[in-house]
Structure formats: structure tokens, C-alpha cells
Structure 1
Amino acid sequence: MIIAVDFDGTIVEHAYPKIGKPIPFAVETLRMLHNDGHRLLLWTVREGKLLEDAIDYCEQNGIYFFAANANFPEENRENSPRKLMADLFIDDRNLGGLPDWGVIYKAVEATVRGENSFETIMSNTPIPEKKERKGFRGLFR
């Protein structure tokens, strides 16, 4: 599978533009996915030096991406589509948030077997309680 992975809030905690603390089991799981033969793409808002910092962090932790913010390493971002051609996106902004990395790994395995990975994720992820929203936006939720 081709798997696009976000950086901030997914591999490390949010501390942008700094590198946050590692999210438990993210590095280990991504190494396992790579070793299982999946192609990993880094898909992040980071560009320039901040992107280099993220790539360096990952490489220092044994995570190697096929490409960053692109489908292929040599892709010209000015002439290519903004959307990645990935089978799966791992991002903390997913519907329901970022599942535990163990659940993510099981969902990828289920997808490879042809099972419904969304059911796998949802059956293993507790549904968070609704937070009371205040302010203007809270009127519409």
C-alpha cells in the first residue's frame, strides 16, 4: 500500500514550528509498516527548512519516506497535482482523531487482507465524549 503520513500531531506532538515529543509507538509502527513493504509518503504542511527538520527527525529514528509532500522524490510540485495518490492517509485530523498506533497497524493489515479497515479502527477506538462548545461557533454545533 501507499501510505501518506502527517508529521505534527501524528508522529510527534504538536509543537510547530518546533519538533514535538514523540507520540508513543508512532516510530516503531512506521518502521514495521516500511518493513512490511508499504511505501510511506510524508505529507505535512512543513516546507523548506521545517520540512528538512521533520525528515531529519524521522531518519534519525529509522523512518525513511519514499517522498515528502509529493508522490515521487523527483516530482515537480509546481506542475503536479496537490493531492497524493495514496491508499491510506494517517493524520491526527482524521474523522475521530488519531487512533492508537497499534490500531492503525491492525487496520493496515486488515486492509491488505481485503477487510474493512474503518470497521477495524472504529471497533477498537473508544468514542470520545462530546465537549461543551462555547462561544459563537458553539451555537451551531
Structure 2
Amino acid sequence: MIIAIDFDGTIVEQKYPRVGKEIPFATSTLKMLQEKGHQLILWTYRSGKELDDAVEFCHSKGLEFYAINKNYPEEIFEGNISRKIKADMYIDDMNYGGLPDWGEIYLNITNPNNNKSKEKKRKKGLARIFG
């Protein structure tokens, strides 16, 4: 699975343009996902020195990304090409409901049965609302 991960508020506390403290278990969880074969893309608003700082922070924790703000490492952005990242999943603190605990994120990605149970609950909730 290709997973795009935001930096500020997701891997580290929101302190932009500074690098905040690591959110507990963020980098260790991401490294475990890589060990399971998932490709990780750092997907952040940061650029220039601020992006370099974020990448260096991740490197210092032993976390390397498949690509950074790109779909693949060799991609070159031109004015007429969308910067939207193609991924199977996006992890971002700005999701509806906020950022779940990194343990919950890991279980949701690695345990497909957990996701099926949540989907059934969601459908039941929608049925109650829309009858």
C-alpha cells in the first residue's frame, strides 16, 4: 500500500515553521509499516529549509521515505502538473475527527478485519440517519 503522511501535527507536534516534538510512536509505527512492505511518502506543505528540517528530523529517527512531496522520487513538477499525491491512504491530523492514536493507525492498516467491522458500524449509523 502507498501511504502519504503529513508532517506537522501528524509525525510531530504542530510548531510550524519549527519542528515540534515527535508525537508518541509516530516514527516507530511508520518504520514498522515499512517493514511490512508499505511505501511511505512524506506529504507536507513544507518546502525549502523547512522541508529539509523535516526530512532531517525523520532521518535522525531512522525513517526514510520512498518519496517526498512526489509520487515517486524521480518525478519533476511542472506548472501544468498537479501536485496531488496518489496514495492508497493519507494520514493527516486535519482528517475529519483528527489524528487517531498511532497504535490505532497501525492496527487499521495491518488488520483488514478491523476495517470491515468499522465499515459495518458506519453503514448501520447511516441507515439510522437516513432510514
Query: If the TM-score is normalised by the length of the shorter chain, which range does it land in?
Result: 0.7 to 0.9
Q: In structure 2, do the counterparts of structure 1 residues 47 and 117 end up closer, same or farther at CA, with 3 Å as the change threshold?
A: farther
Instruction: Count how many residue pairs are aligned between Structure 1 and Structure 2.
Output: 120
Q: Deviations over 1:100-134 (max 9, x none)?
A: 00000011013xx47636928x99xxxxxxxxxxx
Give 1:81 shift. Answer: 2.3
SS at structure 2 position matched to 1:10:
coil
Contact 1:107 1:117 in 2 (8 A): no
* TM-score, length of structure 1 as denominator length: 0.78
- The answer for the alignment partner of 2:84 in structure 1 is 83
Unaligned 5+ runs, structure 2: 123-131
- The answer for the alignment partner of 2:108 in structure 1 is 107
Unaligned 5+ runs, structure 1: 124-141
* TM-score, length of structure 2 as denominator length: 0.84
- The answer for the alignment partner of 1:134 in structure 2 is none
Runs (4+) off by over 6 Å: none
- Match for 2:12: what amino acid? V
Choose between structure 1 and 2 for higher RCO, CA contacts under 8 A separated by at least 6 residues. Answer: 2
Q: In structure 2, do the counterparts of structure 1 residues 59 and 49 end up closer, same or farther at CA, with 3 Å as the change threshold?
A: same
Q: Which structure has more helix as a fraction of its residues?
A: 2
- The answer for the alignment partner of 1:119 in structure 2 is 118
- The answer for the alignment partner of 2:12 in structure 1 is 12
Give 1:49 shift. Answer: 1.1
In the TM superposition, 1:126-137 aligns within 5 A as none
Give 1:56 shift. Answer: 0.8
SS at structure 2 position matched to 1:89:
strand
